[in-house]
Chains A and B, each alone.
Chain A
């Protein structure tokens, strides 16, 4: 049998899984797995044609089960997501090799399980990305969900409860999709994409609404969209360092992939737009957009209140997902491009950020923002990585996050959606606030006595971080590179493509050329440096030689502002954090508790025969009447 390129990729990925599974206990295993990820990346790059102008590559693997055709293939969209998946897996696994691995084992972690779970995640994700019909999509979806569960549950303790919460959400989402699948099947008589598209055309509004809700909700759970976002932050944050980098980078984007495939490609934004919400001016698309916007704002401002670096980042991961969905549902050229480009950018800087935080934990043993500070003098490279990461996350030039957000803003502007635009910007501002808190409380301010002897993270962890930082900057300088891939992905889902240059976007209504912008920015820095350094030579002083209103500072006194950052802001908005969703979750939980209590009571009753007779009488009476 002739192997297609896709087969090679899947085989490679499967091989990685097997290697991790069988020889994953040795210390060299990490490196071996990492190399295999590299191999997967190569296998993917052999399909690079998909990234530049499309076509599809089918897998020779396909089944027929109970009259269901199952097939797998890759197109531009799959390639784009697969690139991010494998890339982040490669770097995370590289990061985990060597020093981190040893310390993880020293703390009683099971490294074999870790590598296996990572490999399993990548494998299942590739299967999901390759799905050629709705049934294989669902199969891939469930596999990804459970693989993610495995990775999240690794750490035990708090992580276990977080993962349990996740799996309940994920099952709910999966079942919603399952139901939707059944409905579609009855409508179209097949789960092949073409059949579904034709079936959607002559589907009644109500039914399409139901489908949009089922699928949107189901996929939304994984993306952490608004009402279903609670599980994500703790689940990602409590995963062992590199794992959280990987999950944060790509895992929840599978939801976006599925949304693109089903809602955008199969249903079509036009059909979705035609669904009006009764008694209101808004339609399904606006509904999605507003969900996206709330997903941007609320988690971002929740992140601002976190005091654990990993949780803070994880909450931002949820918030950034909103930008992607927002761009995709606005669905004009710039919006679509922005949404998809943001997937790539987010993956890069989120991974870098989680890695930097993990490096800090590796050296100091804590990620509590109130127990750190001043580490820049001890871990300068990690600081640089974190800095680049947060600039990307906050979406400021010169990093890549700016480009994608710029595109989203522009699309909202062109479409004339002021409120959405405003909300998106509010999200960005909130992000700036909370990432400054992050970098300040870890790296700036007063160095604690117990961290006097901390040193920079080892190279095995440093190199992947630096590579990521380089990617973040380069794709910020030359957004044209990823935009090529994004363009071909957009074509496959049938969205318009913006005309882009190497430096950015060409548009009659105002274009963007990052090469120039960054050029002048650095020129400006140069001039500033000239002015600055031409003045007198400066003298470094100890951090305790500091203004304290005439007070004599000493090392044992903490002279650092970290807790209740943004106190003034919280005076105003602090009362707005109601935890309503937590309350909702708890109430649902307790409702189930209550019901199940009742049911057990039902079964604990001794007079079973009484039930029997009553039922008998009841049904007979029912017949007679």
Chain B
């Protein structure tokens, strides 16, 4: 449907000064309006309500919680990530709209924490998806969370928080790790490769053995394009 020509919003190497001002404004707005999707697995969730409510009040920073991944900018994962959970986390991450940022809270997301020897947890979150920010601690206090968020805001404003592009650029690597955990017929409904093409982020790290493996197993999920054809594929019942 996007037959209408429009200006791509974020692009490197703009010469037009106005556009640069515009980009700056956009980056600023992005940094000042962050919708969080809390993915609170085991523990750590308990520290977030104080961060949101009257004591620390995230909203004064323009941060507010959201419910569905489509709406959120930040995927905030607290506590250990068991393998079952990780599937959901990845699905959620892929459904979020870029630019998107991942924050891992608690030591478990960093290195497995107290579950470092468990067979059932994913130790390092950033093996499966690009993580912008870890807030270590077991568990970190709201001040720490706010502090972390502010750092993220600054980086967004500076235009450095682009790790989401990394997921597309090196999809093969992330997919490989995911396949190690979930088996080689692993797939999510999101068609990451075509998205990469869509954002022209396709690089030589995007495709590889693992994506080839994926394409073998993948049940194709192209979008249902609107059809005007009158010829019936199958005879009407």
Contact = CB atoms under 8 A, between A and B. Distances in A.
A533 B4 contact: yes
B236 A550 contact: no
B227 interface: yes
A568 interface: no
Interface in A397-451: 447
A106 to B, nearest CB: 9
A536 B8 CA distance: 6
B167 to A, nearest CB: 15
A535 B68 contact: no
Contacts of B2: 533, 537-538
A545 interface: yes
Interface in A300-351: none
B91 A363 contact: no
Nearest to B231: A455
Given A533-B2, A547-B70, A455 B7 contact: no
A541 interface: yes
23 contacts: A362-B236, A374-B224, A380-B226, A380-B228, A381-B228, A455-B227, A456-B228, A533-B4, A534-B6, A534-B7, A535-B6, A536-B6, A537-B2, A537-B8, A540-B1, A541-B190, A544-B221, A546-B189, A547-B68, A550-B91, A552-B87, A552-B91, A552-B189
B160 interface: no
Interface in B1-19: 1-2, 4, 6-9
- A-B complex: 5 closest residue pairs judged by Cβ atoms: A550-B88, A365-B237, A453-B233, A540-B223, A545-B189
Contacts of B68: 547
A442 B27 CA distance: 42
A545 B190 contact: yes
B225 A540 contact: yes
A503 to B, nearest CB: 31
A542 B236 contact: no
Given A377-B225, A533-B6, A535-B9, 11 more contacts: A374-B224, A377-B224, A453-B232, A537-B2, A538-B1, A540-B1, A545-B190, A547-B68, A547-B69, A547-B95, A550-B88
A553 B219 CA distance: 12
Nearest to B67: A547
Given A455-B231, A456-B228, A545 B4 contact: no
A82 to B, nearest CB: 34
Contacts of A457: 230
A455 B233 CA distance: 7
A543 interface: yes
A363 B233 CA distance: 11
B221 A542 contact: yes
Contacts of A459: 230
Interface string B67-78: 011100000000
B142 to A, nearest CB: 26
B227 A378 contact: yes
Interface residues on B, range: 35 or more
Contacts of B221: 542, 544-545
A542 B230 contact: no
Contacts of B189: 542, 544-546, 552-553
Contacts of B230: 455-459, 462
Interface in A360-379: 362-365, 374, 376-378
Contact of A536 (B9, B223, B224, B234): B9
Contacts of B89: 550
B229 A456 contact: yes
Contacts, number: 92
B147 interface: no
A539 interface: yes
B237 to A, nearest CB: 4
A365 B224 contact: no
B232 A455 contact: yes
Nearest to A363: B236
Interface string B163-189: 000000000000000000000000011
Which of A103, A380, A455, A459 gathers most chain B CB within 10 Å? A455
A544 B70 CA distance: 14
Nearest to A459: B230
Nearest to A547: B68
Interface in A207-264: none
Contacts of A363: 232, 236
Nearest to A456: B230
A256 B127 CA distance: 74
A365 B236 contact: yes
A103 B236 contact: yes
A262 to B, nearest CB: 46
Contacts of B4: 533
B55 interface: no
A44 to B, nearest CB: 32
B195 A539 contact: yes
Given A546-B189, A550-B88, A552-B189, A539 B70 contact: no
B9 to A, nearest CB: 5
Interface in B191-227: 191, 195, 198, 221-227
Contacts of A455: 227, 229-233
B82 interface: no
B155 to A, nearest CB: 21
B38 to A, nearest CB: 13
B111 interface: no
B64 interface: no
Contacts of B234: 453
A542 B237 contact: no
B162 interface: no
Contacts of B8: 536-537
B147 to A, nearest CB: 29
Nearest to A99: B236
A364 B232 CA distance: 11
Nearest to A548: B91
Interface in A527-572: 533-547, 550-553
B95 A543 contact: no
Interface string B26-43: 000000000000000000
A64 B224 CA distance: 68
B209 to A, nearest CB: 24
Contacts of A535: 6, 9
Contacts of B232: 363, 453-455
B236 A537 contact: no
Contact of B224 (A103, A542, A551): A542
A447 B69 contact: no
Contacts of A545: 95, 189-191, 221
Given A453-B234, A457-B230, A552-B189, A537 B95 contact: no
B61 to A, nearest CB: 24
A374 to B, nearest CB: 8
Contact of A456 (B95, B190, B222, B227): B227
A289 B209 CA distance: 76
A552 B87 CA distance: 9
Contacts of B198: 539
A103 B235 CA distance: 10
A136 to B, nearest CB: 45
Contacts of B87: 552
A534 B7 CA distance: 7
Contacts of B228: 380-381, 456
Interface string B99-131: 000000000000000000000000000000000
Nearest to A546: B189
A553 B69 CA distance: 15
Interface in A454-474: 454-459, 462
A345 B6 CA distance: 40
A263 to B, nearest CB: 47
